[in-house]
Amino acid sequence: MHNHVDDIKQRLDIVELINEYVRLEKAGINFKARCPFHNEKTPSFFVSPERGTFKCFGCGAGGDHFSFIEQIEGVNFKEALEILARKAGVTIRYTKADAQASDIKSRLRLLHTEATRFYELALRKSKGGHLAHAYLGKRGLTDQTIAAWHIGYAPSAWRALTSHLHGKGFSAEELVKSGLCIRSDKRPPAGELPVYDRFRARIMFPITAIAGSVVGFSGRILPEAEDAEHPSGKYINSPQTPLYDKSRILYGLDKARLAIRREKRALLVEGQMDVVMSHQAGVDWVVAASGTALTPHHIALVQRYTDTVVMSFDHDEAGAAATKKSIFLALDAGLSVEIVAITGGKDPADMAKHDPAEWKKAAAQSMPVMDYFFSYAFAKHDPTTISGKKAISAYLFEPLYAIPNTIERHAWLQKLAQKLGSREEDVVAEFEKYASKQRSPVAPTRESKQLIAHGEIGQLGNPCLTSEESLLSLLIKHPSLAVAHKKELGTVHLQNNWLQDILTLVIQKATAATKAGDYLHTLDPQFHIRFNELALRGDVYFNDSSTAAMELDRLCESIRSCNRRSQLHQLEQQLRAVNSRAPIIATKYGKIDLATANKGSNNVSVMLGNGTGGFAAATDIAVSNSPRTIICTDFNSDGKVDLATAKLQREG
């Protein structure tokens, strides 16, 4: 297995691999992008071609080729191995035990593949399928498009798919887990499974993951069947399953992602038919949310490929409201937003059918998002009336507030004043009233994000660990520091045992000419990826040799501070263990104020500052009735407690 892994890594450039999913930009000797695993505006995701690793310094995701595919595709190692083997042209030979082992996701992928074949065959061969095929033709789809998108038909029988899949060896449990079948409360006919088909008498659109495997379906009922007999709606979709999460998948992205890169923008539409017809018309950079409103996860998917999103939704009230929400989601994520104007009550599928060239032209001539908002507001309200002016202003202030550039925002406010026939200063004054109510706490600055990455702020929940990792990254990047400060570094204690081992290794092995790769032969191979992530952090954040020594001092002090806080926490725990009822008094070279102690208690725990940031603890404190007596421990200048020097102090 290790031979397969090494062979694949040698054949596949990690930059080319990740660039299929994320738009990478050169950043020195490495590459960077906005992280595909969490929402962010400033890139903190880096890829090292030299080391074959990636690391996000925002969310912590990192690893090699296999780790990336596991995380981006939601697969296990075996499945990632198979995906990468296909890309690399490597043949995987499994043992008999490996071949027989199969987890639920693998089984569900096989099940969905078989279901897709079944639905496609039913579209061509069944009576209902002929009606569905005729409807698709009426909507403008060609047979080539139907085949390319694997569109099919679910027969009207209650157990058509169930019986077929059961005959292929799938269990009732697997059928239910797939979401394609529903467990029945009624006793089934003899020889039948206690489940029935979720999709019946519907045109079936397979929903495909980026890697190309079918993970769910969207089923559209035939127009002639839209009656009380089918109350579940025009479209129904696969439920949440181990494979399918509708909030994280965009319909058509597997086919559109390369075109989105080419066009440097993505066109978002409402439904499957809009996507398929657009692609057929040559507008192949189109995707859609399926069975749900647009989510932040959808926006993050788009951000992997482009900074610009073009939106086209229905122009009814519901469509306008959905468009507005989607626009603000995209703007909040830092995307540029444009709108395709569709008139005459048509949708993209209609335009693509009746005039493909006109649809291509409309998609290419998208308008800035504020033009869309102005157009909608002035069409909906009468700008010649006072109530209309107020309604238009109220509608437009929200998107205007979302514009980060002050000059651009002021230009739009000028335009609003002109179109309303109002004085510019009055419009600006009203906008400022609105803005003052909306202002929220300041978002983290780029500088604070750098501090997060450097360990000053614990974004990942453990600032001490981040400081320790940063110290190692600095020393790996600048080995001369380890040589020059060998004695000082020998007194630095890291709380993470593995990082302490790496620090010891660096101190022992470093020379001025040592490179990161020189350490690897002394490390267990299972730690190579983690070590390379440390080295990549050094490339990103500690490239400036002129400030390296200052960074070393800062990080060492940060680690010492963490250690002191840890010691203090341990002492507090010890004190509480001695007497959980005793109040704790902390002081630093000051008199202990007994008035602050609980006078009703006969025990007081006292902590004394030692002048170096550490604390000494008095674990045996006795308070007599009169006068009060406190026994507390003395301490040495090195911060260590010496119980032998305990003194008796008396307070009147």
Q: What is the pLDDT of residues 230-285, one digit of tens each?
A: 556 789 999 999 999 999 899 999 999 889 988 999 999 989 999 999 999 999 99
Mean pLDDT across the stretch 179-191? 85
Is 451 domain-assigned?
no
Pairing between β-strand 202-208 and β-strand 181-183 as defined by DSSP bridges: unpaired
Is 444 domain-assigned?
no
636 & 564 share domain: no
In this predicted structure, the answer to whether residue 315 has a pLDDT above a threshold of 70 is no
In this predicted structure, the answer to whether residue 31 has a pLDDT above a threshold of 90 is yes
pLDDT on residue 575? 66
Is 217 domain-assigned?
yes
114 & 211 share domain: yes
CA distances to 71, 304, 352, 467, 641 from 258, rounded to whole Å, are 21, 11, 21, 39, 66
pLDDT on residue 175? 97
Q: How confident is the model at residue 36 (pLDDT cuts 50, 70, 90)?
A: confident
Which of 19-33, 110-124, 487-501 has the least mean pLDDT?
487-501
Q: Which one, of 280, 126, 287, lies nearest residue 203 by Cα? A: 126
Quick one: DSSP state of residue 337?
E
Q: 549, 577, 605 — which closes off a domain?
A: 577
118 & 158 share domain: yes
Mean pLDDT across the stretch 73-87? 83
In this predicted structure, the answer to whether residue 607 has a pLDDT above a threshold of 80 is no
In this predicted structure, the answer to whether residue 432 has a pLDDT above a threshold of 70 is yes
567 & 600 share domain: no
571 & 592 share domain: no
559 & 477 share domain: yes
Q: 577, 603, 637 — which closes off a domain?
A: 577
Query: Helices in 168-241 by DSSP H: which ranges?
Result: 172-178
CATH number of the domain within which 9 lies = 3.90.580.10
41 & 112 share domain: no
570 & 590 share domain: no
Residue 292 tokens read as: 């749900």
Which of 242-251, 321-330, 347-356 has the least mean pLDDT?
321-330
149 & 49 share domain: no
Q: How confident is the model at residue 95 (pLDDT cuts 50, 70, 90)?
A: low
Cα pseudo-dihedral 292, 296, 298, 304, rounded to 10: 180
Q: How confident is the model at residue 226 (pLDDT cuts 50, 70, 90)?
A: low
Is 403 domain-assigned?
no
537 & 610 share domain: no
CA 494 to chain centroid: 30
| Residue range of the domain that includes 27 | 4-88
What pTM was estimated for this model as a whole? 0.64
Is 380 domain-assigned?
no
Q: Which residues contact 150 (CB under 8 A, 6 or more apart)?
A: 116, 120, 206, 214
Q: Percentage of the chain surpassing pLDDT 70?
A: 79
Is 405 domain-assigned?
no
202 & 326 share domain: no
pLDDT on residue 592? 41
Is 218 domain-assigned?
yes
CATH number of the domain within which 292 lies = 3.40.1360.10
Q: 577, 606, 630 — which closes off a domain?
A: 577
* Omega within 30 of 0 (cis) for the link into 155: no
In this predicted structure, the answer to whether residue 631 has a pLDDT above a threshold of 70 is no
Q: How confident is the model at residue 501 (pLDDT cuts 50, 70, 90)?
A: confident
Mean pLDDT across the stretch 29-41? 87
Mean pLDDT across the stretch 58-77? 86
What digits encode the pLDDT tens for the residues 531-576? 888 888 888 888 888 888 888 989 998 898 888 888 887 777 766 6
CB 226 within 8 A of CB 278: no
110 & 67 share domain: no
Looking from the CA of 257 toward its CB, the CA atoms found within 13 Å total 20
CB 456 within 8 A of CB 463: yes
**Paired strand residues for 183:** 195
Backbone φ and ψ of 368, nearest 5° = -55, 150
Domain count, the chain: 5
Is 475 domain-assigned?
yes
Distance CA 394, CA 377 (A): 10
What digits encode the pLDDT tens for the residues 357-388? 999 999 999 999 999 899 889 999 999 999 99
CB 313 within 8 A of CB 269: yes
Pairing between β-strand 584-588 and β-strand 605-609 as defined by DSSP bridges: parallel
